[in-house]
Amino acid sequence: MATKRPVCKYGAECYRKNPDHLKSYYHPSKADEESKVKLKQSTLPTDPSETQTKLIPKGTSDGGKVTDPRSSIKEKFLVDMPQDFYDFWDFCKVLNPVAPEEALKDTIGLKLVGPYCVLAGYLSTASWEDCVVESRYFYDTPEVLTVLENIPKNGYHISYYRDNPDDLPTFLVSNNSKESCVLKAEGDNIFATVGLQISKKLKTVSTNSKLKELNTKLQAKCKELSYNLVESKNFKTRNKQVVAKSFNKIGIVVPVDQNDVGYRPLPMTNGELKAVLDKIVSSKSKEEKATASEPLEEMLSFVQFANDECDYGMGLELGIDLFCHSDQFHKIIVNLLPLAYELLNRPVFAKIIKQHLIKRKKD
């Protein structure tokens, strides 16, 4: 039966779990050398000239060397990307073979960024320190990885979201950093997310033929690849695991055992904490600020006690809330959040938050 089915172009590396896809395509084992060759060939440009024109980033001398995109993205952004991420790039290459990253620019005003820049050939010599802050907006915690941003830039962007760097993201979120820290759940995959953007646009410009054509092509591709085009169901499933609602409204998820070890709540509501932080930021003198900071200092002590008793989620919650409030608490955050991520066995996020804090600017 296996030999009668076409070989999936992603071979053993395919992340898709859809039953119809698994029945329709043969997935060789990693030990199958022939499948490895086919997988490698599928990542190379079909036009030899494309290697020179697309994979040599401006201002560098890469020599046209083509590397495995999955490994390169993991090396530069420290995380893996889901199958829909790569399938969407292939979709955009059909829409715009010359510049796939700009395939959505003229219809819904979005550009592919972040790890898509690796596929476009612009980050071959960039370090991970630079890549993890590529298109990282002011309120983007390490759980967020931006892949779409508005053109011209106005703060609006769309990102994959994951609670653990070792896991693949299962939904996307949007945020406008010019307005607030709030993250809004979008689709379970990037096709669904872009589909939602098209639907919003069609409500205001229903006569746009290019937009309708894009919508038709997107729906056809989703049907072919068995991707759903609805709002996130995975986000609703995740909500059942959320232990606390953070300032960005997305909440935090941490492991909690049967004895409730893993998280303990902050001694303040979000409203009370925001009032404390507002008062600290608005203080006119050192004395006034010191007095206003006393409740926060007390909470930091509570976090230390919680860490001693393995309730690591408390530090994560407070750290994210401070991060989402303003840029006035970086000295506290740099000691609080990286430690929380390390204790939760999420060291990649600790690296990302440290790097972000170095370059973080409100504009």
Q: Scan for tokens 């060759």, then name that residue.
A: 37
Q: 86-116: per-residue pLDDT in tens? A: 999 999 999 999 999 999 999 999 999 999 9
Give bridge partners of residue 111 from the DSSP assignment. 149
Are both 169 and 115 inside the same structural domain?
yes
Same domain, 234 and 265: no
Single out the residue in 186, 211, 238 at which a domain terminates: 238
Q: Are residues 303 and 228 in the same domain?
A: no
Q: pTM score > 0.85 for this model?
A: no
Claim to verify: residue 256 and residue 352 sit in the same structural domain:
yes
Picking from 66-75, 136-145, 201-210, 279-288, which range would have the lowest pLDDT averaged per residue?
201-210
Residue-wise pLDDT tens digits, 332-349: 999 999 999 999 999 999
Residues 271 and 226 in one domain: no
First to last CA, the chain: 57
Contact (CB, 8 A) for 197 and 110: yes
136 & 164 share domain: yes
Q: Determine contact, residues 161/183, Cβ cutoff 8 Å.
A: yes
For residue range 113-168, list pLDDT tens digits in order.
999 999 999 888 999 999 999 999 999 999 999 999 999 989 999 999 999 999 99
Domain boundary among 195, 218, 238: 238
- DSSP, res 277: H
Q: Are residues 256 and 323 both part of a single domain?
A: yes
Q: Which of 144-153, 227-236, 301-310, 324-333 has the lowest mean pLDDT?
A: 227-236
The answer on 55 and 165 residing in a single domain is yes
Pairing relation of β-strands 156-161 and 184-185? unpaired
The reply to whether 56 and 166 lie within a common domain is yes
Dihedral in degrees, nearest 10, Cα atoms 283, 284, 287, 291: -20
Do 350 and 335 contact (CB within 8 A), yes or no?
no
SS3 call for 327: coil
Of 205, 238, 271, which closes a domain? 238
Count of CB atoms within 10 A of residue 335's CB? Answer: 13
pLDDT at position 32 is 52
How many domains in the chain?
3
Domain that holds residue 11: 1-42
111 and 204 assigned to the same domain: yes
User: Do 293 and 332 share a domain, yes or no?
Assistant: yes
Residue 298's pLDDT is 97
Both 75 and 5 in a single domain?
A: no
> Catalytic residue positions?
309
